[in-house]
Amino acid sequence: MTVEIQVPDLGESLNTATIAHWLKQPGDYVKLGDNILELETDKVSLEVTASTSGVLMHIEPEGKDVEVGQVIAAIDDNAVAPTVQPEIEPSKTTESTEQENRLSQPFSEVSSAPKKEPEVPSSNVAPEPSTSLSGGGEHRVPMSRLRRTIARNLKEAQNTAAILTTFNEIDMTAVKELRAVYRDAFSKKHEGARLGFMSFFAKAVIGALKEYPIINAQIDGDDVIYRDHVNLGIAVGTERGLVVPVLRRAEDMTFAELERRIADYGKRARDGKLTLDELGGGSFTVTNGGIFGSLLSTPIVNSGQSGVLGMHAIQDRPVARNGEIVIRPMMYVALSYDHRLIDGREAVSFLVRLKELIEDPRRLLLDV
């Protein structure tokens, strides 16, 4: 009997997907539960499993857009699993005889490879295309569904919001010293959780948003929606494109919980294992271009939000302290915000408060 494989339910508001990659090919024997293909939606990639054991039959081509419920493959469940023939090991006697024969040959006969006449390339063989950038050629490839979605959402946000960016710089000395002292103890106590910079910035962002809730708000028609919680988006760059998983109610999380969740999101984002629920509902986003070496940027506010914080690379720079020039590890930070809702006073004050909390992390503990 032939069993049809259909596009599964993709989640709320998603009706179409793209066949990204077949993990099995027609003629392959698959077992119940085997992953057979990857589907790419507007937000995540997901794997489709075999609903029965048998031989994979007809499949739809990669790159094709398909709808929920559409038949994309079939499995013949009457097919029998191929039997694996055991390998027959050569007898020791045979191996020994062959070895003796080789050893008994003259050295020149054993070591010399047969001479080959130089191959003359056929005039009918087309030359390989040049990979040089100076060749003047070009080639066209289709955009992935995720890339199309990213492009559409960012352009929509840019066309809708009046985005403005303000900057400040932060002395990272205190946080670096705190990490150096407690990093090992933190990891030991919290089962391997790594004390990074992101948890400090997440905590500082949450504290600053409590004081300036307008930056955590959203315009909805002629109304403003104020949120009483912080759903913190963490931008993650992957080979497929940028995704922003959300830490829901991040204000309730400890440093260790933040670090574990951020590390988990980063790994699963790169593996394409995030769920739709983990990618929606953010109220504010943090993006860290510093891991790629970025010194300054003007990040774009995500749709449905009013602000995004851009972190950047830490660099030793000369700064004035108590009338003297000293070298300190400094980071530029950028806040892009929707100027329709947020005035410059609030945006600048938010960054100043963030700077205070990072430069003196004791404030995070004492809430002052």
* Interatomic CA distance for residues 341 and 345, integer angstroms: 12
Q: What pLDDT sits at residue 163?
A: 96
Q: Which of 50, 61, 70, 60 is nearest to 9 (CA)?
A: 70
Is there a shared CATH topology between the 2-76 domain and the 160-366 domain? Answer: no
Residues 109-119: what's their mean pLDDT? 42
Structure tokens at 353: 């408060």
Q: What pLDDT sits at residue 76?
A: 86
* Alpha carbon distances (Å) from 23 to 31, 62, 180, 365: 13, 11, 45, 49
Residue-range domain boundaries for the chain: 2-76, 160-366
Distance of CA 3 to the CA centre of its chain: 34
Lowest mean pLDDT among 30-39, 109-118, 194-203, 359-368: 109-118
- Per-residue confidence band for 106, with pLDDT thresholds at 50, 70 and 90: very low
Question: Active site includes 339?
Answer: yes
Q: Is the pLDDT of residue 185 over 50?
A: yes
Q: Are 161 and 342 in contact (CB under 8 A)?
A: no
Q: Is the pLDDT of residue 130 over 70?
A: no
Q: What pLDDT sits at residue 12?
A: 61
In angstroms, the first-to-last Cα distance of the chain is 70
Q: Is the pLDDT of residue 207 over 60?
A: yes
Question: Active site includes 28?
Answer: no
Cβ neighbors of 65 (< 8 A, separation 6 or more) are 16, 17, 18, 145
Q: Are 45 and 272 in contact (CB under 8 A)?
A: yes
The beta-carbon contacts of 291-294 under 8 Å, at least 24 apart in sequence, are 292/237
Structure tokens at 350: 């938010």
| CATH fold for the domain made of 2-76 | OB fold (Dihydrolipoamide Acetyltransferase, E2P) (2.40.50)
The secondary structure of the chain in percent helix, strand, coil, rounded to multiples of 5, reads 35, 25, 40
Q: Is the pLDDT of residue 111 over 60?
A: no
* Interatomic CA distance for residues 30 and 25, integer angstroms: 10
**Among all chains, which residue has been given the structure tokens 């029965």?**
52
Q: What pLDDT sits at residue 289?
A: 94
Q: CATH: 3.30.559.10, 3.90.1150.10, 3.40.50.970, 1.10.10.60. Which one for 160-366? A: 3.30.559.10
Q: What pLDDT sits at residue 135?
A: 61
* Interatomic CA distance for residues 237 and 245, integer angstroms: 11
Q: Is 368 exposed, middle or buried (0-12, 13-18, 19+ CB in 10 A)?
A: exposed
- Per-residue confidence band for 153, with pLDDT thresholds at 50, 70 and 90: confident
265-318 tens-digit pLDDT: 999 988 888 888 898 899 999 999 999 999 999 999 998 999 999 999 999 999
* Alpha carbon distances (Å) from 112 to 49, 99, 209: 53, 17, 77
Single out the catalytic residue among 34, 190, 339, 360. 339
Single out the catalytic residue among 190, 343, 360, 367. 343
Structure tokens at 61: 């081509």
- Per-residue confidence band for 346, with pLDDT thresholds at 50, 70 and 90: very high
Bridge partners for 9 per DSSP: none
Structure tokens at 192: 């391997």
Q: What Rg value do the Cα atoms of the chain yield, rounded? A: 29
Task: Answer yes or no: pTM beyond 0.85.
Answer: no
Lowest mean pLDDT among 123-137, 226-240, 249-263, 273-287: 123-137
84-103 tens-digit pLDDT: 555 555 555 445 445 444 43
- Phi, psi values for residue 182, rounded to 5°: -110, 0
Helix orientation angle between 344-359 and 173-189, rounded to the nearest 10 degrees: 60
Better pLDDT: 156 or 105: 156
